[in-house]
Each structure stands twice: as C-alpha cells, then as structure tokens.
Amino acid sequence: MKKSYGFLMLVALALVLAACSGSDDAKGSSDGGEKSNTVEIFSWWTGAGEEAGLLALIDAFEKKYPEIKVENAAVAGGAGTNAKAVLATRMQGNDPPSTFQVHGGDELNEGWVAAGKMEPLNDLYEKNGWKDKFPEELIDLVSKDGKIYSVPVNIHRGNVIFYNKKVFEEHNIKEPTTLDEFFAAAEKLKEAGVTPMALGDKNSWPATQIFENTLLSVLGPDDYKKLFEGEIPWDDERVVKAAEKFGKILDYVNEDHSARNWQDSAQLVADGEAAMLNMGDWAKGYFSNDLKMKTNKDFGYFEFPGTKGEFAVITDTFGLPKGIENKKDVKKFLTFLGSTKAQDIFNPLKGSIPARTDADESKYDAYGKEAMKDFKDSRLVPSLAHGSAAAAGFLTKANQAVNIFVTQRDVDTFIKALKAASSEM
Ligand code: BGC
C-alpha cells in the first residue's frame, strides 16, 4: 500500500514538473528543443545603410547574454516591401519569428494586434520603469485598448530633404522653405544640367513618401491627420492641390528612377549628379556610415518645404508574437532593446534618434542632436508610406495609385483611386 502511494506521488510530481517545463517561460532555457536559447530577429535591415545598427545591437546583446543565440532573419527590401509579405505568410502559418520589426501605429495595432497575434508587454514596461522613459505619444502609438504591444528602438523622421552641399553652393541655392522656393531652386538646377531631385521608386514607397510630405505641406498637421482619420475626404480640393504639386515635383526627378532603390537614389546625391533627396533619415545613416560623408559639410538637410515645426514619425518597434517557444529569452532581448545602452548603440549608426528621452545626446552628431530637439518641439504626424497613418490595405492601394500616377500623371484618376481605397483606411 505504502509503496504504491509513494509511486503515485512521484507520478504526480513528474506531471507537475512536465507541465511547468511546458510553460512558455521555462521552455527557452530548459526544453532543449530546436529553438530554445535562440532568438530569431526578423527585420528588413540588410545591406548598406540598414545593417550596421542591427549587427552592432546583436553583438552587444550576445556579449551580455552569451548563452542566448541570435538568429538574424532579415529579409532585404526597403520599407519592408518583401519582409512584410514573408512575415504575413509565417504568421498565418503559425510560425512567427521570436520577434519582428513593426512600425508603431496602424501597422502594429490594426494589423497584428487586432488579429490577436501579439502578447501585451505591460509587465515589461512596469518592471523597467519605461512608462516615464518613452514619450507618452510614442507609447500610444504602440498601444491598443490600454495594452502596450511593442518596444520602440528608434524614431526616424520622414519629412527631411538631404542635399549635396557642394552642388547647392556651386549653383548658389539656398535651402527652400516653401514649395514655391523649392520649385524655383529645382528649375535653376535643371537649367544648369543637375537633376534637382533624386528618386528611386523601384518599389513605390519613396514616391509615396514624397506625396505624403506634399500632403503635409499643403494641409498642415491637423488636417493631414484628419485626412487619415476619415474626417476630410480624399477628393478635398487641397488633396487635389497636393497631387498637382506632387506631379510637379516629379518633373524634377532622375529619368531612371524606376530602376533604382533608395540607396541607389541617395548615391546620386552623394555623387553630385542630383542635388536633393527626400528620404527618411535612414539616409543619414547611409551617408555618414556607409559613404563616409560629413554632416553639414558634404551633405546638408532641411525640412520638406512647408513642414517646418512638423515631424513625420516613423518608429521601428519589436514585439512578442503569441505562440513562440522561448518567451523568456525574447523578453530579455526586448528588455535590452529598450535600454539606453542598446538605443545609443543602434541609433547613431541607423541615422535615427533614440525612442527613449534619457539617452546620451553626446553620442549623436549635429543632425541627431537637432532631430532630438525637433522631435520634442514639433507637431508629430504619422507616416503613410511607413505604415503608421493607415491600415495596410489602404497603403497597398495608395502605393499602387502612386505608382500609376508617377507614369501617367493623371490627377483625376489618382484622386479617384485614393478615394475608392479610403474605405480600407
Ligand atoms: C524603416 C527604416 C528603414 C527604412 C528603409 C522604414 O520603413 O522604418 O528602419 O531604414 O524603412 O528600409
């Protein structure tokens, strides 16, 4: 009798232990399964201008946690053109990466969170005291219904024009502050045989980004937001005006724009073949770290004309998908990502500013310092091209409409396509 009672106790204990080791938290370090101790980081940061920050981050994380293996699962393609499709297939097939790059705003909240695919991270924010360390508006961008779903590693600015200093000096061009001044400068450059504006819209998002900045310039920050909130229709006369101005900007781009990606277009500015580039400030990372150009010597920058005092926010964030095996290790990675140390390693290389407000300013050059100040003082608006302003369905259709507009230049068709797509915002 006694013996079999003891045996039953052992069986019960074994069952309890098995149940524990099957829990998400314990698995990463104890189950010895295929993915335990491996954190798979999924992003689109590959190659020039994109990879250096990620590699430095991974290196620092591996030094801190030598027992955790990192798998860099980056899929090439600016703005995530290819990565987002690969991610969608994996998420639908219940094969999520341990963590993945996702923009704060609709891409996260109306995408993966709404689909019930993400774990809330409020505990991580509490534990690390992050609620006072990230700006409230940024936490809002990664929250839905009071729950926080990701950790922002950076803030990029989208409404910047970078320019070749030498070209501006040679042709006596001043930084334009209005669209009219911009067109005057562009005309002067064109007459002198310089391509005024570099564009690489092999994938249409860089053109969409010019369009969104033109919208911001014409509508101003309040009505720009209202447009994406559905309070202003897409056939509003100011949207039509912005489309016309966008068309006019396209008169000044390089002929081979559709054959280039964003790095190739930045190269035109670096080589002095083109004068200006409207690109998020990942281009700053590319100019400084890859092309070794000096800030305010080789290249300068100004707000997209008519958008001074406004900041188009693009934030790269990482969250915790449901159903992954090694939650504990992934949380260690996310905790690291949210630290000032990690943010100050990553952002000076990436061209972005830290998402935290208490990072070490001395690690950033003049551009970074100014961007930090501007971020604090400006009206913040979400970017369409980078997934924050509208749901993915609308963005896909807006990119298609932009792509057609770039070749056909028919404002009417463009506006109609945008309006038809707006039910998907
Ligand atoms: C991301 C940046 C990236 C850029 C170009 C944006 O959507 O937020 O981190 O550098 O795309 O790929």
- Residues in the chain predicted with pLDDT less than 50, given as ranges, are 1-34
- HSE of 142 in the Cβ direction (CA atoms, 13 Å)? 33
- Provide the residue count of the chain: 425
Strands 274-278 and 195-198: parallel
Q: Which amino acid type is present at position 71?
A: E
Residues 26-51 have pLDDT tens digits of: 333 333 344 578 999 999 999 888 99
Tell me which residue has its CA closest to atom 12 in ligand 1: 78
Q: CA 412 to CA 103: how far, in whole Å?
A: 31
> Which of 108, 290, 386, 395 for mutating ligand 1's site (highest number of atoms within 8 Å of CB)?
386
Cβ neighbours around 74 below 10 Å, total: 18
Give the CA dihedral 269, 266, 257, 177, nearest 10 degrees.
Answer: -60
Q: With helix as H, strand as E and coil as C, how does the chain read?
A: CHHHHHHHHHHHHHHHHHHHHHCHHHHHHHCCCCCCCEEEEECCCCCCCCHHHHHHHHHHHHHHCCCCEEEECCCCCHHHCCHHHHHHHHHHCCCCCCEEEEECCHHHHHHHHCCCCEECCHHHHHHHCHHHCCCHHHHHHCEECCEECEEECEEEECCEEEEEHHHHHHCCCCCCCCHHHHHHHHHHHHHCCCEEEECCCCCCHHHHHHHHHHHHHHHHHHHHHHHHCCCCCCCCHHHHHHHHHHHHHHCCECCCHHHCCHHHHHHHHHCCCEEEEECCCHHHHHHHHHCCCCECCCEEEEECCCCCCEEEEECEEEEEECCCCCHHHHHHHHHHHCCHHHHHHHHHHHCCEECCCCCCHHHCCHHHHHHHHHHHHCEEEECCCCCCCCCHHHHHHHHHHHHHHHHHCCHHHHHHHHHHHHHHC
The domains located in the chain, with CATH, are 38-156+314-378 (3.40.190.10), 157-312+383-424 (3.40.190.10)
Output the pLDDT for position 35: 53
Quote the ligand 1 centre to 201 CA distance (angstroms).
14
Q: CA 192 to CA 374: how far, in whole Å?
A: 34
Tell me which residue has its CA closest to atom 6 in ligand 1: 79
Quote the ligand 1 centre to 244 CA distance (angstroms).
27
Q: CA 302 to CA 100: how far, in whole Å?
A: 31
**Which residues surround ligand 1 with Cβ inside 6 Å?**
44, 50, 78-80, 156, 280, 282, 314, 316, 386
Quote the ligand 1 centre to 76 CA distance (angstroms).
11
Quote the ligand 1 centre to 230 CA distance (angstroms).
26
Q: What is the CA radius of gyration of the chain?
A: 24
Quote the ligand 1 centre to 82 CA distance (angstroms).
12
Output the pLDDT for position 405: 98
pTM of the model: 0.91
Tell me which residue has its CA closest to atom 4 in ligand 1: 79
Any idea which residue has 């100004």 for tokens?
302
Output the pLDDT for position 49: 86
Quote the ligand 1 centre to 14 CA distance (angstroms).
49
Give 150's strand partners. Answer: 319
